[in-house]
Structure 1
């Protein structure tokens, strides 16, 4: 049973009540789980009677586990009964949980503001046709060949384009070292373009053990505004030179890197994968275009909390990207190298975050208007698919999804259906690649 009231602006207070028999069952389950971790003198581990356990640790020893069982489905039902759409996580206040009595919990949630939907059916959009050329396939094959190359010490000769040089370097501006301008045992591929223009070129012809001084000027548009346009002197020591050894492109190579027996079959597989990737990308771009059109045509007063949360998500994604792409490079270090603060980075992301947050609200309004629902069979199918990806403790994953992740999975399914509706109802024109009309 749920009662609710609007308390301010877009905030709602839900009074959630769960019947006493369900509470008793949950407390029993909680006891069976908690007792397995408890050892008391005179009892074997896992065999402490419930009345002894509660006497020693208090009835609240079972409350956390019981709430994990009771609260997620009760909250989901309360939200559905109140016909509200929460923003983010609720603020729960436990009022009562006791054997033989109903559970009473108050949940304060911020809900989405009303959205005035613009046109969303019959939108016009263009989609590029997919065409993979022989040159693209060959380029992809060469990249795979590069990925399986070996870097071996260069026994003779000087550093050349494509070689990997292991260097120590230290940069000076106005005869003073600058932050981020020093490294040891740095692996630099000559020709990668990862340093400022001119640096890599001046290492061509260097030999192992050589010490060089490289004078350059930072570009005017350099990411660190404090260094842009300034002269810099790098003192560099070449510690080692390695050259790339590529494997032969033959049937043996195909067998090594794929499940194909011949290079010709592997080329066909590459083409098919590239075509599928291109189709997926074209579909994603089409979806983004349609969502953007609906959002631009719709009116909604954006809650600040949504914008800030979207910025948080974008920065979290950025942190993960930096960690994977440049191990050891933190977001704070990235900002330092870019000559900006975290607050300045957040300000830069604000417009994009507002656009994304608005798109989410608009899709939610579309879901409500069209009565789009997630069937239980669809949720179960999604849970099965996710669980199948986890060989380690699949039942634990399933239990989490069944109890705490179900609401999110339903929302994900509804959003996918809403986007599919936009696409199926759109008037789509297929155009040659690169022939998109400017918007």
Structure 2
């Protein structure tokens, strides 16, 4: 097999592949053996038609598609390896020559991984940032602990306030006519959570239990349901119940309820220590992320759009997993927010582009600095993972090998070591 690569654009080119007639002939033979099993020709038992009779009756061309299905999955990756390119998307295949007794020739138009021209990545400076723990930070954490211990209490005589949960019925009308999806009974909403159309929740403030009210709002111009976008709607709302979070007192008894400590002062001290550890980790992440961003900004690289789209696909999958953990799916989320899938993808666009660019630059730095990961380092990482999972090391190793996770782990370790190199060579390195 012969393969030649010709770049036609910055990150695109044409891979011309020639498969010799002998290999093509073998693929035709395989195709015939597959097809003939289902062929009926008078005078012959099913599946027993001689090759010459088959070709005379149906033409050798009837075998070409099956032969291509056999050849291409094998020939294309071999040609890629021979040409020394790294495709980042599926190829566009064009057949140049497909004829029995002659070489099979095809062209694959491919987008490849871009070349990276590194800029400065050593002696980079990290801007100073305050990671100290303030009294306000401690108070905020105690407040969150309070809220986790809080109880929703029914409000009998009061009015709806921001932060309350209301149980309500509502039905929406446009020009006096109800519209699909605009009604619900005994729906629970946290006022101020911005789950509903802008302006809806604000108009619930001040209502009492069993009170009815017309809430008038305007759907956003970019609302996903085009028939509603930009239109004024009136929602007939009836509030059945108002529930408000009642928080426990911050005292020694609270400390005993939520921790192993006897006094509030001991709890505060523990909270402070944990926040300091958290801030320390945040500072480390800040330094590493800043250096990666600076190194990426200093490099010259033209990122193919398809690589960004693939990264957005990964981000969308992760986003949907997060939604599922909250008990909702993507369709419900789009209904709540008024966004469609394309708008959500657009929100990921910038971060996806930065991530792809950073990964390419880190890969280039690793190559430039000969960063490698040895078997001992991988083994140490497997042991750490086994400890975290509280599983046997051999069991974890088998799981990783079965799922191809060892190679992924090796790549992640290489990235980590490359960022370590940026940190140790920064101006702020101790």
**Paired position in structure 1 for 2:405:** 405
**Paired position in structure 2 for 1:181:** 182
Shift of 1:178: 4.4
3-state SS in 1 of match to 2:170? strand
Q: Is there any run of 5+ residues in structure 1 with no aligned partner, and where?
A: 14-77, 92-107, 431-439
Q: 1:219 to 1:111 in 2, by over 3 A?
A: closer
Query: In the TM superposition, what whole-angstrom CA distance separates every residue of 1:204-245 from its partner, at most 9, and x where no partner exists?
Result: 454433333222345778788875664321112222222322
Choose 1 or 2 for highest CA Rg.
2
> Relative contact order: is structure 1 or structure 2 higher (C-alpha 8 Å, sep ≥ 6)?
1
Deviates most, 186-195 or 353-362 = 186-195
Inter-partner Cα distance in structure 2 for 1:225 and 1:288: 40
**Paired position in structure 1 for 2:214:** 213
Q: 1:387 to 1:323 in 2, by over 3 A?
A: same
3-state SS in 1 of match to 2:389? coil
**Paired position in structure 2 for 1:290:** 291
Q: Is the CA contact 2:89–2:306 (under 8 Å) kept in the aligned structure 1?
A: no
**Paired position in structure 2 for 1:139:** 140
3-state SS in 2 of match to 1:299? coil
TM-score normalised per structure 1: 0.66
Q: CA RMSD in A?
A: 4.0
Inter-partner Cα distance in structure 2 for 1:185 and 1:393: 49
Aligned positions of 1:324-335 closer than 5 A: 324-325=325-326, 327-330=327-330, 332-335=331-334
Q: Is the CA contact 2:169–2:187 (under 8 Å) kept in the aligned structure 1?
A: yes
Inter-partner Cα distance in structure 1 for 2:406 and 2:85: 15
Shift of 1:367: 0.6
Query: In the TM superposition, what whole-angstrom CA distance separates every residue of 1:155-200 from its partner, at most 9, and x where no partner exists?
Result: x313342432111222223334445533333222344454455544
TM-score normalised per structure 2: 0.67
**Paired position in structure 2 for 1:353:** 352
3-state SS in 2 of match to 1:158? coil
Inter-partner Cα distance in structure 2 for 1:311 and 1:222: 22
Q: Is the CA contact 1:145–1:246 (under 8 Å) kept in the aligned structure 2?
A: yes
Inter-partner Cα distance in structure 2 for 1:85 and 1:239: 65
3-state SS in 2 of match to 1:420? helix
Inter-partner Cα distance in structure 1 for 2:180 and 2:356: 36
Q: 1:344 to 1:145 in 2, by over 3 A?
A: closer
Q: Is there any run of 5+ residues in structure 2 with no aligned partner, and where?
A: 7-12, 18-77, 92-107
Q: 1:179 to 1:85 in 2, by over 3 A?
A: farther
Q: 1:426 to 1:224 in 2, by over 3 A?
A: farther
Residues matched between the structures, number: 343
Aligned positions of 1:302-317 closer than 5 A: 302-317=303-318
